[in-house]
């Protein structure tokens, strides 16, 4: 049985973080059915789509079961091929190695246009049976776009069979069509991600955790001086230490296992690192963090930031920003530098002189080294009370040698012009390290959603390196996990988009300004009318209230002689 290698983009739910590109084999039909097999995908080893009949091809257009699968269903449709409206015709799904799911996703009718939808028949009622004993009848809405078919129970299925019982007749044609149908595996992944990202979700031992590394100093009750390594995550965590759940963890004390590791931690102080190990509840005065991480392994660490040469400037008489004493604003770092004197105003001036800087944090001497240290921020991180630091916000044009308006708006080489609608996103130090080692990701997914604290957008991104079989997931620039993605696809063309070209709140016009080579797109309104979906040259974008909330890029294969549906 010969198979052609194709690509499919699973679009059962656009808000799904896990909607990634997958491989499709086009297989010969069995004697009594016409079948296509999708797989392996991110969610299953394979899903075979078999139909009881197919409308004969018309010229260059065909109507086979391929069009039931993901992206292909957005430009074509399966149409049954018997005389009349197709009552009694069936679609069978045979699932190999898939997870449990609770619903199907379907696009009823021929969704290419309003005219195609009206001219062809649509399914009104269908019977669904399965290998686990499901036998139910559902009624579909007579409308374009995705619909959800809830199943009676959440379960793993080896097969499901859908039989057409009644139809909404077409205005001109007797045949009945469906242009997308499949198990909504992505919904289960979304629910899992929501549980993992929710405040009550807890991190177990053995999982990686990222944060900024600090040296913490305090005095033991017996009078002994103590120095320890503390990992500061970008937001408070819940962790599982033995049988105990610890919430609100802001400082993770690291227990190095060797002198070499101790030296490695010393050299990484002030930078973002990623580690794993086993969590333990602090139980002695020597334990200075909220939780102790032993059996330590250093997974990744950011390269030391380059400190550009600067011209010394006189201290301004009046600086417009206000110093925030005993305040730390962690994260969103551009760069850091040691200061020649323990004066927060020097850090304030550095921020004023850097057009990228929107906020800063001054760290007192002895905490991240013998000298005071200055951290410049590309955004405004959440303020947290901490006697270690003094922070402040930049209000613009406040230094003795402020850049001219022209200089402050010149983008970096190769970057899109920065405007209020199309400003590029800055990379964190750990992301810069990933790019320096592996280059830009071959494909990526971005999701923006409201944070728990103040409603500011959280940026979640997954970078896929298919050729290297690597994938990294970041939360606001901090490495959250590393996993194996879908493997490389021989002959695939990977897009040239970069994740730093997109930022939260971008408008559609802003995206087109940031991507000057893009001049056309396809638009689709989601069924609940809360999101618009745009397809652009190997790129999918979701907008809610005219603001960018979702980005996904996908690889593409050259045509293999299979033509799409047109009616």
pLDDT the model gives residue 112: 78
CB contact at 8 A, 198 and 96: no
| pLDDT for the residue numbered 79 | 94
pTM of the model: 0.36
DSSP bridge pairs for 544: 547
pLDDT at residue 74, as a whole number: 46
Q: What is the largest CA-CA distance in the chain?
A: 92
Per-residue burial over 289-306, b if 16 or more Cβ lie within 10 Å, else e, is bbbbbeebebebbbeebe
pLDDT tens-digit map of 289-318: 888 898 888 887 655 544 333 333 333 333
DSSP string, 39-81: -S-SS-SEEEEEES--PPPBTTB---GGGGSGGGGGT--EE--
| Residues with pLDDT less than 70, the chain | 1-31, 41-42, 70-75, 189-201, 301-322, 382, 395-425, 451-456, 483-490, 516-520, 524-530, 557-567
Please name each of the domains of the chain with its CATH number. Answer: 3-192 (2.60.120.260), 209-301 (2.40.50), 323-400 (3.50.4.10), 417-553 (no CATH)
Instruction: Evaluate whether 243 touches 173 at the Cβ level (below 8 Å).
Output: no
Judged on CB neighbours under 10 Å (0-12, 13-18, 19+), 245 is: exposed
Position 108 scores a pLDDT of 93
pLDDT of residue 270: 83
- The DSSP code sequence of 443-479 is EEEEEEEE-SSS-PEEEEEEEEETTTTEEEEEETTEE
As a dihedral over the C-alpha atoms of residue 63, residue 64, residue 68, residue 74, rounded to 10 degrees, the angle is -40
Can you give the pLDDT at residue 525? 64
pLDDT of residue 559: 46
Instruction: Note every long-range contact of 449-453, with CB atoms under 8 Å and residues 24 or more positions apart, other chains counting.
Output: 449/549, 451/235, 452/199, 453/235, 453/382
Token pair, residue 300, equals: 């990744």
Residue 176 exposure: Cα atoms within 13 Å on the Cβ side: 27
Q: Fill in the DSSP letter of residue 192.
A: H
């Amino acid at each position: 049985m010969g198979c052609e290698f194709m690509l499919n983009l699973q679009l059962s739910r656009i808000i799904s973080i896990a909607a990634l590109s997958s491989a499709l084999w086009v297989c010969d039909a069995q004697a009594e059915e016409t079948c296509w097999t999708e797989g392996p995908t991110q969610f299953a080893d394979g899903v075979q789509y078999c139909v009881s009949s197919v409308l004969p091809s018309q010229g260059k257009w065909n109507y086979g079961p391929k069009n039931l699968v993901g992206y292909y269903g957005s430009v074509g449709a399966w149409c049954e091929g018997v005389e009349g409206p197709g009552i009694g015709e069936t679609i069978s799904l045979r699932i190999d190695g898939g997870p449990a799911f609770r619903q199907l996703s379907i696009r009823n009718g021929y969704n290419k246009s309003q005219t195609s939808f009206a001219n062809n028949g649509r399914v009104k009622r269908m019977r669904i049976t399965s290998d686990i004993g499901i036998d139910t009848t559902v009624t579909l809405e007579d409308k374009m776009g995705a619909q959800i078919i809830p199943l009676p129970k959440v379960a793993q299925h080896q097969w499901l069979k859908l039989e057409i019982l009644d139809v909404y007749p077409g205005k001109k044609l007797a045949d009945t069509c469906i242009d997308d149908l499949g198990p909504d595996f992505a919904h289960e992944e979304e629910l899992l991600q929501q549980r993992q990202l929710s405040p009550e979700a807890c991190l177990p031992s053995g999982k990686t955790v990222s944060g900024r590394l600090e040296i913490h100093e305090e005095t033991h009750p017996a009078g002994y001086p103590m120095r320890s390594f503390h990992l500061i995550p970008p937001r408070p965590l819940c962790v599982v230490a033995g049988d105990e759940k610890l919430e609100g963890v802001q400082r993770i004390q690291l227990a190095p296992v060797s002198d070499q590791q101790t030296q490695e931690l010393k050299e990484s102080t002030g930078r973002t690192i990623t580690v794993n190990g086993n969590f333990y509840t602090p139980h002695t005065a020597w334990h200075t963090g909220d939780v102790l991480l032993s059996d330590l392994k250093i997974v990744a660490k950011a390269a030391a930031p380059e400190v550009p040469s600067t011209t010394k400037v006189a201290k301004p008489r009046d600086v417009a920003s206000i110093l925030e004493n005993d305040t730390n604003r962690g994260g969103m770092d551009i760069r850091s530098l040691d200061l020649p004197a323990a004066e927060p105003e020097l850090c304030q001036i550095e921020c004023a002189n850097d057009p990228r800087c929107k906020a800063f944090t001054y760290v007192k001497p002895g905490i991240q080294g013998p000298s005071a240290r200055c951290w410049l921020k590309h955004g405004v991180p959440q303020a947290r009370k901490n006697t270690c630091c003094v922070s402040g916000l930049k209000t613009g044009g406040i230094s003795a040698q402020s850049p001219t308006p022209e200089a402050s708006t010149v983008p970096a080489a190769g970057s899109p012009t920065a405007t209020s609608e199309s400003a590029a996103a800055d990379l964190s130090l750990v992301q810069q390290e990933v790019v320096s080692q592996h280059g830009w990701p071959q494909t990526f997914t971005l999701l923006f959603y409201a944070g728990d604290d103040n409603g500011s957008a959280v940026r979640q991104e997954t970078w896929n390196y298919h050729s290297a079989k690597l994938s990294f997931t970041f939360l606001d620039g901090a490495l959250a996990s590393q996993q194996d993605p879908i493997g490389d696809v021989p002959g695939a063309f990977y897009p040239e988009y970069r994740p730093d070209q997109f930022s939260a709140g971008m408008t559609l016009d802003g995206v087109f300004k940031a991507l000057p080579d893009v001049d056309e797109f396809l638009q689709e309104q989601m069924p609940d009318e809360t999101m618009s979906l745009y397809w652009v040259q190997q790129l999918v974008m979701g907008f809610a209230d005219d603001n960018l909330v979702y980005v996904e890029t996908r690889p593409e294969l050259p045509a293999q002689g299979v033509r799409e549906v047109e009616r």
